[in-house]
Structure 1
Amino acid sequence: MTTIFGNMAVSVDGFITGRDPRPGHGLGDGGAVLHEWYWGGDEPSEVVPQFRLSKASRDFIDPLAGRVGAVIAGRTTFEDAGGWGGGSPHPTAPLVVVSHRPAPPEATPEQRFTTSIEEAVATARTLAGDLDVSLMGGGGALTAALTAGLIDEIIVHQVPVLLGAGRPLFQELPAHVRLDIVQVVPAPDVTHLHYRVQR
């Protein structure tokens, strides 16, 4: 059965960007520090060729990235990332974007646009086949998926920095969400935290 998991790098104070994120400056002021660990090691990823990770991070990231058959992102994340140049943040998985606005003219056939998180998850499940679905971007899409009971796991890559402001990982949730700890992996410049959502 397909697993839907949230997957984001985050500061200790809960932000996925620095201040003033916007198209062309998607990580905001100072937010690039959240992703430095992707390129700060000596071990090339076997799944995402541009990553050069520490051994501890590669041993965590490669099996995770190998599970992904489709990616879901919100429209804000899509625009801040420049539409990933018409592709996806994953080298082989198609992208599904949750948006109440029509797809932009530069969108490609590899990018599907849906109007609700429920439709996005259904589309991504079909595209993923026997693999899993990674939901990235914070705030709206992740919170909506949690609220709808569609998230099975949450994976955060916590970077030891306090950004002070930016886009938060979560918006306000309607109730407590209890998590089970699956794995905690300390690595240089990041701690990988893997949780399962209690049902």
Structure 2
Amino acid sequence: MGKVIAAITTSVDGFITGPEDGPDYGLGKGGERLHYWVMGGPWTYDGGHHFAMNGPDKDFYDELEAGMGAGIVGRGMYDAAGAWGGTNPFAGPLFVLTHRLQDQPAAASGFTFVSGLDEALVQATGVAGGKDVSIGGGADVIRQALAAGRVDELVLSTAPVILGSGKRLFDGFDHDVDLEIVKTVSSTLATHVRYAVKR
């Protein structure tokens, strides 16, 4: 049986986006710096972008992705990413939490819209084939899953930047959760920590 792994990138001060995130600005103003590690270095929305990880960042990501059978994200992340150009770029099917189910894209896209976290976890686990289910954000989805006790492992990639404003990962989260460090990987662009959620 696979694990449920919640993974996201934050700034040093705990933001997962800069201000004004959304379809127009993706990760928000200045937020693209959070994902320098994903893109292999500096990038901009205007200049086009693609995954170009290398070195320790790529090794970390490849190990994580190799165990994934399905993923879950929120509608905000889906929209901010421009639906990844209309095709799921991740390993396994991707379930999108949304109240707007009528927007469901074609099955060939690799996206399935669902209305609740429990339903998403049931469907994702069912198609994951015994592999892990990734919860990739946004922050609200990860907070919901942690609060419900559904996360086995929390993976935080911390970019060396202080954003000062935006959306915080743990804004409003009031649960007491013990974590155990499983693995740490660092590069010049991020420090990745895998934490087991202690029960």
Q: TM-score, normalised on structure 2?
A: 0.88
1:118-197 map, 5 Å: 118-197=118-197
Q: Are the counterparts in 1 of residues 76 and 138 from structure 2 also a CA contact under 8 Å?
A: no
| 1:30 maps to amino acid | G
Relative to structure 1, is the Cα distance of residues 38 and 139 closer, same or farther in structure 2, using a 3 angstrom cutoff? closer
Which digits, 9 at most, give the CA deviation of each residue in 1:78-106, with x for residues without a partner? 1111122222241x32110111222416x
Residue-by-residue CA offset, 1:146-166 (whole Å, 9 max, x unaligned): 111111101111001000111
Aligned to 1:108: 106
Question: Could you say which residue in structure 2 is the equivalent of 1:198?
Answer: 198
What pairs up with 1:5-84 in 2 under 5 angstroms? 5-40=5-40, 51-84=51-84
SS in 2 for 1:21: coil
TM-superposed CA distance for 1:24, in Å, is 3.2
- What is the alpha-carbon root mean square deviation over aligned residues? 1.6
CA contact (8 A) 1:18 1:167 kept: yes
Asked if structure 1 preserves the Cα contact closer than 8 Å seen for 2:70 and 2:124, the reply is: yes
**Structure 1: any 5+ residue segments left out of the alignment?**
42-49
Pairs aligned (count): 189
SS of 1:88 mapped into structure 2: coil
* Runs of 4+, deviation exceeding 4 Å: none
TM-score (norm 1): 0.88
Paired with 2:53 and 2:154, the residues of 1 have a C-alpha distance of 21
Q: Which residue identity does 2:98 align to in structure 1?
A: S
1:128 and 1:19, CA in 2 relative to 1: closer, same or farther beyond 3 A?
same
* 2: CA distance, partners of 1:37 / 1:112: 28
Judged with a 3 Å threshold, the aligned counterparts in structure 2 of structure 1 residues 55 and 171 are, in CA distance, closer, same or farther, namely same
Return the alpha-carbon distance in structure 2 between the equivalents of residues 108 and 62 of structure 1. 28
Q: Flag structure 2 segments of 5+ consecutive residues without an equivalent.
A: 42-49
Percent identical: 40
